[in-house]
Amino acid sequence: MFILTIDQQGSRRVGDRVGELLAHLRARGDMHRGSAGVVAPFERTVGDEVQCVLDDPALAVDVALAVLRLTGWSIGIGAGDVDEPLPESSRAGSGPAFVMARDAVEQAKSRLKVVPLVVHGADEERAREAEAVLVLLGATLQRRTAAGWEVVDAVERSGETRQDLIASRVGVTQQAVSQRLRTALWLEEQAARPVAARLLAEAAAGSRDAP
């Protein structure tokens, strides 16, 4: 299982943004109870913190990166076993993965972290590797320009790969689309996401694979 615990940064300064975050996540359409990969959907746990339980590492990667794009949130991921049967609410959940997610989000709050994300897992070596890839991806997203996001979002919303059609949608030249995607490192991001998901899966499976 994959526990994502997400805590707001600077809530005393900017006010409580949990409602905004939950609305954004629910608008994705794949984060509701019963959605593939969602064991327990996001909900407020305490204060300005939210948490969910997933069983799909690729979805965990997608959600973590979506939250990093929003900025202002620290993310802890716990990859491992949970106590079963799981209650309907993640707030009532327990087990090693919940403890790891709690420790991870506390470490993610460090001011030394440019990308506020930490992963702990049943296999800590794989968890550190997953964290390294996710942090690099997060840093890539943080440096992406508004022009880059415009084209990336157009590609991802439409599923279209023909750059001439994307250019028509966005209202720029095909050459501009190509340049923006290269500068945004979009292809490199797409190639790295499955690597992060595989490492998360291996981090979660570590305790079961041990002799």
User: For residues 42 and 166, what is the distance between their CA atoms, to the nearest angstrom?
Assistant: 33
Length reported for the chain: 211
What pLDDT, on a 0 to 100 scale, did the predictor assign at position 162?
86
User: For residues 107 and 105, what is the distance between their CA atoms, to the nearest angstrom?
Assistant: 5
What pLDDT, on a 0 to 100 scale, did the predictor assign at position 147?
95
Sign of the C-alpha dihedral, residues 173, 175, 178, 182? negative
What pLDDT, on a 0 to 100 scale, did the predictor assign at position 206?
81
The 10 Å Cβ neighbour count of residue 199 is: 26
CA distances from 44 to 31, 41, 55, 88, 203 (A): 14, 10, 19, 14, 26
User: For residues 95 and 84, what is the distance between their CA atoms, to the nearest angstrom?
Assistant: 8
pLDDT in tens, 48-104: 999 999 999 999 999 999 999 998 999 999 999 999 998 888 888 899 999 999 999
Sign of the C-alpha dihedral, residues 113, 129, 205, 209? negative
Residue 194 preceded by cis peptide, ω within 30: no
- Determine the 3-state secondary structure of 94 from DSSP: coil
Question: Running DSSP on this structure, what letter comes out for residue 86?
Answer: P
What pLDDT, on a 0 to 100 scale, did the predictor assign at position 209?
45
148 is written with which tokens?
A: 């880059």
Confidence band, pLDDT 50/70/90 cuts, at residue 159: confident
Confidence band, pLDDT 50/70/90 cuts, at residue 112: confident
Q: In this model, does residue 37 exceed pLDDT 60? A: yes
Residue type at position 162? R
Q: What angle do CA 4, 86, 58 make, to 5 degrees?
A: 35
What pLDDT, on a 0 to 100 scale, did the predictor assign at position 210?
43
- 3-state SS of 5-58 is EEEECCHHHHCCCHHHHHHHHHCCCCCCCCCCCEEEEEEECCCCEEEEEECCHH
